[in-house]
Structure 1
Amino acid sequence: MTTNRISLTELESGTPFARRHIGPDHEAQAKMLAHVGFGSLDELTATAVPDVIKSAEALGLPQARTEAEVLAELRGLADRNQVLSSMIGLGYYGTFTPTVILRNVMENPAWYTAYTPYQPEISQGRLEALLNFQTMVAELTGLPTSGASLLDEGTAAAEAMALSRRVGKVKQGVFLVDADCLPQTVAVIETRAEPTGVEVVVADLSEGIPAEVAERGVFGVLLQYPGASGAVRDPRALIEQAHDLGAIVTVAADLLALTLLASPGELGADIAVGTTQRFGVPMGFGGPHAGFMAVRDQFARSLPGRLVGVSVDADGSKAYRLALQTREQHIRREKATSNICTAQVLLAVMAGMYAVYHGPEGLRTIARRTHRYAAILAEGLRAGGVEIVHGAYFDTLTARVPGRAGEVVAAARQAGVNLRQIDADLVGIACDETTGRAELAGVWGAFGVQGDIEQLDAAVAEALPQTLLRGDDYLTHPVFHQYRSETAMLRYLRTLADKDYALDRGMIPLGSCTMKLNATTEMEPVTWPAFGQLHPFAPADQAEGYLTLIQELEERLATVTGYDKVSLQPNAGSQGELAGLLAVRAYHRANGDEQRTVCLIPSSAHGTNAASAVMAGMKVVVVKTGEDGEVDADDLHAKIDKHRDELAVLMVTYPSTHGVFEEHITQICAAVHDAGGQVYVDGANLNALVGLAEPGKFGGDVSHLNLHKTFCIPHGGGGPGVGPVGVRAHLAPYLPNHPLQPSAGPETGVGPISAAPWGSAGILPISWAYVRLMGGEGLKRATQVAVLSANYIAKRLEAHYPVLYTGPGGLVAHECIIDVRPLTKATGVSIDDVAKRLIDYGFHAPTMSFPVAGTLMIEPTESEDLDELDRFCDAMIAIRAEIEKVGSGEWDKDDNPLRNAPHTAAALGGDWAHPYTREEAVFPAGVDAAEKYWPPVRRIDGAFGDRNLVCSCPPLDEYDS
């Protein structure tokens, strides 16, 4: 017997990662290609992709490496980071993530691969978790309505500024910021204020609002509580003074401090903002973390971002959903109150579960311990002759050492502790949940003093003002008291996860959202301490591994897109859009073209585009979309001519939002450039371009990328995300920068877009690993298979549903749109009926009614194998046959499986009065009973939830009633 000789080199190489990432194997690809009518992937994409945009060369990326090799590389980068005990503070703190939450939420694909809960019937677990988060924030802040998270504290404060201007009585005037606010928050506010014509005044408000400011009018005031310096001041008189001026008052608050201190609501604030990072979420060199906002009742319907509410399902049972969805920017577009793509759901779930696990008494204990360490530390310094600037504080001290601050900070670093040098005389020191006796000894040593912890503990009093101590109860709902043991918590998390449909269960074919494999190898490094426990303002030489990873990822993304420079600071696609538009605005202004403020946007574009353009101070002008789904060339040229002197930029999604490669994209770009404008290519659909075409080379000047789409960062139920912005060289001087980390951007930049210098740096290893694992050829192959999969689905479904738009050769790009409107007109079966019926078949619905009402936009991605693609197509074809039964009268038009979908297990019990069988309801064609996904609730009544807005955990007796 003989065997073929295989070389050691071949045996050592193992299975290429691309084969693990791409679902259809070679045999499946051949079958799919034959069905579509092509002999190879290259032949398919040569026909589908217009010649004018095709890349001439292969991607110049390093050769793909194996999973073991990439993990070893990442371990080497992590080893180049130095993780010291961080006592820097400024809104970022050491915290202990309970391991039951770390393993069962942060590292659990049931949570991190979920999508935004737009299909609430199959999102009840994460919606309940978000309701817990909202309840936690609302009760700790003393304000009745909290949103379901924002991006970070800085952007939350900027949203509060916009909200104050929108809902307040004073429509002009300034936005007044206390000088003791976090410096990065002040900088983000200033970045966001300038394009919209808001003047920001930063002043010391410790003695009240200066008369000269009050005379100018004040529409909003921002206070930090406790202050960045650590000072705890009673703001009641200041808040009253601001209200007398007609201003809306926002308090940026520390949630841990609020377990001991009077809440912003009790003090009279209208809005509270902040971050939940220290509630069990690693610092991650700046993110991702869940910001928060809570407001008074009268502002609830103007709250930016997402809001989870309580409603009822078809049986009248309690059910959760996203409330007030008409504020979504896809609907309101340039009239949107905010950009709703500003959430950090996975991190909000972690923070909320931290409160569930610890409960109010556990949180108070952590806060008291943190404060106790700060009080002992302060007294030891005082005893050694060091001045502590403030007598009242929670966890942060400001120590005065004239001329010695640099020396003290350096000595502390030698002892393994990072402190904050404020200036030549002042040192900031912050205690947190992880602070211990060793840190106190190290800090005392750095100041040249000695302290006896036991002796000081016996003698030192609390340093919180008696008049500000909290007296009311909070977190009283049973959910914050039931899960103290790890067993109970583990089962609660499992129960919630089992209610949801995420990518770990099956395909989520959402058009434009690119729900594909988030490989375990890519995810693993995120929770390594060397990446997770680094403070974003740590000295740069302690972050060599991170900075190398960031630089390499920026360079590789620039290579992939054809741009010259990339900034990773924007921590969501919405923020990347804003950063790109601000760069365009700054470029025009630098050229003396301040009148260029018009932003052309096709009517089919993502609604985020219009919302971001308004935030960037631009005037949105909508360009028509033709019947073929392409930009209406005649209307575009007419709009260019009309606004030639004012034209700033055209925002265009490519491939188009209709899922086709527009052949005239280079001509469109040239026409805009000829008029003096710039071209913004929205990177939402980049999964159809990587390795085939580069936006920066076929006419784009700027693009944001969605790393949570094309580059494998998971959606996490609606966040985390990263939205880097890539630009050509002439826009590079206007990328974001940061006041606390000069290397984070150009000196001439537009200011920070996010609170942290590199945004959500903690999840950048995911995309770095993906690019490294795939290499240039792997990335190209992934794109080609994504295009193949979309065309395969289109071909299989076209005999049953019209495919609305196609490009060259009758092909689509990476997604296709099927039209349900004719069926609705003929039978009364709605797009909602089809979407909810898909749940009974075990699927998340495709994107509904966008960009065209009454349609489904389907994007299979490259990660789904042929069996799953066929299972989806079979389900859609079976549903088409069910629609026919309704149309023919075989099934009643008001009582049929589609109109009543989804069906729960509970619905099967008792009498069955429907004219179809139980089996037809829950085990339709192709559904394996042994693998059945059971939705926890029936169809939810959205209108009821909006009329009866309940956005926190209601008392249990309300559920009964």
Structure 2
Amino acid sequence: MTPLPRYHAARWDEPIVTELGQPGRRGAFFDGDPSADALIPAALARRNEPVLPALSEPEVFRHYLHLAQMTLGMQGVSLFGTCTMKYNAPVSEAIAWRPEMAETHPLQDASTLQGTLEFLHRFDLMLRELSGMDQFIFQPGGGADAAYTNCAVTRAWLAARGELGTRDEIITSIQAHPCNPATAATAGFKVITLTLEENGYPSMEQLKTAVSHRTAALMIGNPDDMGIYNPDIKEWVRIVHEAGGLCFYDHANFNGVMGKLRARELGFDACMYMLHKTFGAPKGGNGPSVGAYGCSAELAPFLPAPLVVRDGDEYSLDYDRPQSCGKIREYFGNAQQVMKAYAWVSAMGADGIHEASDLSVLANNYMDARLAEIPGLARSHADIAAHRMEMTRWSMEPLKRQTGVSVFDVQRRMTDFGIDAFWLSHEPWVVPEPFTPEAGEMWSKEEIDRWIDVLATVVDEAYNDPEKVRSAPHNQAIHQLDGSALNDPDRFATTMRRLKAAAATGLDGI
């Protein structure tokens, strides 16, 4: 068992940097260039390698961040399942703040935006290669926006075929992200939700009962948040296509299959990627999010405008799209976030993306094996012994039944050890008392072990001293918060105006 951190409200038992790392880790790689060596005067050149710790860039960054957090706050090991939180390189942040990006406007003449339009076009080509699609846009402001874009494109495609009033149903799964049924309903479609069966996903027989002449589209994710991949997905696509509908691939969980499959080769007409989930761009509460949406050549005429197009060495914005479904968001999307994702893919390359996928699956199954040893936990679809993909949904229902300690209690108590509150599950809860850790490829074995050891410690406390867990957190700046009145303006002031009004009426206001 790894030593647990002695944490108390932004206080870390942080080792000195020379005690961190493992042999072989690197933060940057440099090609040997004799001409570069010649620039260093012989008297200043090293004769022996420096004695320095071998660390990856994320480890170095987190080390000094932890030192800063003794005064600023907390950000520990965050195995944030279904969102694939990745390391965000400071070099990309620095580029985003350069005046060439931060001080430009998308309505400038295209001749003054050539650099921006070039990397937007290049990243479009990269995602085409990863997906097999024919065109990508970056206008949608996140995954839900991209799902809605698909519904809008589907609507325009149906209208062009004279089928908009006939095909009014979209099929999805109970385990698909809620944005799929929600955006379908928002776009005016009726939603058919398939239920899970013995193998962890709906059967083809169930799908066949839902498909009809009214089917507009299938919107599905694969693998799902339980880490289960539907091996019959190509047959699903064939069934929907034969009925005359479209198929949309929600690639929220692309991390475990990137470089392994291409959506178009599975038959899908469109797909989307969330750049913060897979491609190293930061996530900020749907502020800087980008939902990259790609589709086939057949659907491309219906995409929102503008499209970035290349003519020789020049790039321009194509607004002349008479069949476009209309705007989904402003302009051509959040260019700074696309730049960060472009930098990530450029740095990783095809081999790096393939290796990251392998590491993501390996880390998840290592984590699964260790979690299975902790009492009070149950694996979703426990009868399915096959390895899971990039994440696995677990349940604390046995722990709750045996001790009265809930998944929320455990979540709060783990923050006492400097571990970020883990992710539970999207609604509705298919699995009771759920939690969904996801290591991805960026967390080291030591960090994964530390996370699991903290969880094992808290579970042991739940069996031996349940009140200690139920009354957590104990080591935070504030203790357990009663959230029952968070939306009551008479109890909590969210603006200075409200605070003054509360003070005038004699209420606490905070």
Shorter-chain TM-score: what band? 0.7 to 0.9
**Residues of 1 paired with 2:196 and 2:244: CA distance?**
23
Partner of 1:828: 404
In the alignment, structure 1 residue 651 sits paired with structure 2 residue 219: yes
- 2:141–2:286 CA contact under 8 A, matched in 1: no
Out of 818, 823, 828, which is 2:394 matched to?
A: 818
Change (3 A) 1:863 1:611: same
Write out per-residue CA displacement over residues 606-627 of structure 1, whole angstroms, 9 at most, x where no aligned residue: 1111221122221111111224
Partner of 1:704: 272
Change (3 A) 1:658 1:544: same
Partner of 1:511: 81
Partner of 1:880: 459
How much has 1:662 moved relative to structure 2? 1.6
Partner of 1:753: 328
How much has 1:631 moved relative to structure 2? 2.2
Out of 432, 447, 450, which is 1:871 matched to?
A: 450
The one-letter amino acid paired with 1:613 is A
What is the 5 A alignment of 1:505-584?
A: 506-584=76-154
Partner of 2:318: 743
Write out per-residue CA displacement over residues 899-923 of structure 1, whole angstroms, 9 at most, x where no aligned residue: 011114xxxxxxxxxxxxxxxxxxx
The one-letter amino acid paired with 1:866 is K
In the alignment, structure 1 residue 775 sits paired with structure 2 residue 349: yes
Write out per-residue CA displacement over residues 704-759 of structure 1, whole angstroms, 9 at most, x where no aligned residue: 21011101110135531111101122111111114998526744221221112x11
The one-letter amino acid paired with 1:952 is T
- 1:705–1:723 CA contact under 8 A, matched in 2: yes
Out of 944, 952, 956, which is 2:495 matched to?
A: 952
Change (3 A) 1:546 1:745: farther
- 1:708–1:720 CA contact under 8 A, matched in 2: no
Gaps in structure 2 of 5+ consecutive residues: 1-19, 32-60, 309-315
The one-letter amino acid paired with 1:667 is E
Write out per-residue CA displacement over residues 804-850 of structure 1, whole angstroms, 9 at most, x where no aligned residue: 14798620100011111122112211111111111112112322143
**Residues of 2 paired with 1:613 and 1:662: CA distance?**
22
- 1:711–1:770 CA contact under 8 A, matched in 2: yes
The one-letter amino acid paired with 1:840 is D
Change (3 A) 1:569 1:26: farther
How much has 1:522 moved relative to structure 2? 2.8
Change (3 A) 1:682 1:948: same
Change (3 A) 1:716 1:902: same
**Residues of 2 paired with 1:847 and 1:689: CA distance?**
21
User: 3-state DSSP class of the match of 1:724?
Assistant: strand
Out of 403, 419, 444, which is 1:843 matched to?
A: 419
- 1:786–1:814 CA contact under 8 A, matched in 2: yes
Partner of 2:238: 670
How much has 1:634 moved relative to structure 2? 3.1
Partner of 1:694: 262
Count residues in correspondence: 436
**Residues of 1 paired with 2:23 and 2:471: CA distance?**
41
The one-letter amino acid paired with 2:187 is A
Gaps in structure 1 of 5+ consecutive residues: 1-22, 29-64, 69-108, 114-493, 886-890, 905-934
Partner of 1:413: none
Out of 846, 849, 855, which is 2:434 matched to?
A: 855
- 1:805–1:817 CA contact under 8 A, matched in 2: no
- 2:225–2:391 CA contact under 8 A, matched in 1: no
Change (3 A) 1:884 1:27: farther
How much has 1:629 moved relative to structure 2? 2.5
User: 3-state DSSP class of the match of 2:216?
Assistant: strand
Change (3 A) 1:855 1:671: same
Change (3 A) 1:633 1:880: farther
How much has 1:959 moved relative to structure 2? 4.3
**Residues of 2 paired with 1:701 and 1:807: CA distance?**
34
**Residues of 2 paired with 1:788 and 1:745: CA distance?**
47
The one-letter amino acid paired with 1:521 is V
- 2:171–2:218 CA contact under 8 A, matched in 1: yes
Write out per-residue CA displacement over residues 272-330 of structure 1, whole angstroms, 9 at most, x where no aligned residue: xxxxxxxxxxxxxxxxxxxxxxxxxxxxxxxxxxxxxxxxxxxxxxxxxxxxxxxxxxx
Write out per-residue CA displacement over residues 577-603 of structure 1, whole angstroms, 9 at most, x where no aligned residue: 111221122122212222112011111
How much has 1:24 moved relative to structure 2? 10
Write out per-residue CA displacement over residues 92-136 of structure 1, whole angstroms, 9 at most, x where no aligned residue: xxxxxxxxxxxxxxxxx99xx9xxxxxxxxxxxxxxxxxxxxxxx
What is the 5 A alignment of 1:126-525?
A: 498-499=72-73, 501-502=74-75, 506-525=76-95
Could you say what the CA RMSD is over the residues aligned between the two structures, in angstroms?
2.9
**Residues of 2 paired with 1:714 and 1:849: CA distance?**
21
Change (3 A) 1:745 1:836: farther
- 1:600–1:650 CA contact under 8 A, matched in 2: yes
| TM-score, length of structure 2 as denominator length | 0.79
**Residues of 2 paired with 1:614 and 1:67: CA distance?**
51
- Bigger proportion of residues as helix: 1
Change (3 A) 1:662 1:753: same
**Residues of 1 paired with 2:480 and 2:157: CA distance?**
50
In the alignment, structure 1 residue 629 sits paired with structure 2 residue 204: no
In the alignment, structure 1 residue 941 sits paired with structure 2 residue 482: yes
User: Sequence identity of aligned pairs in percent?
Assistant: 27
The one-letter amino acid paired with 2:236 is I
- 2:270–2:294 CA contact under 8 A, matched in 1: yes
**Residues of 2 paired with 1:710 and 1:67: CA distance?**
25
- 2:156–2:323 CA contact under 8 A, matched in 1: no
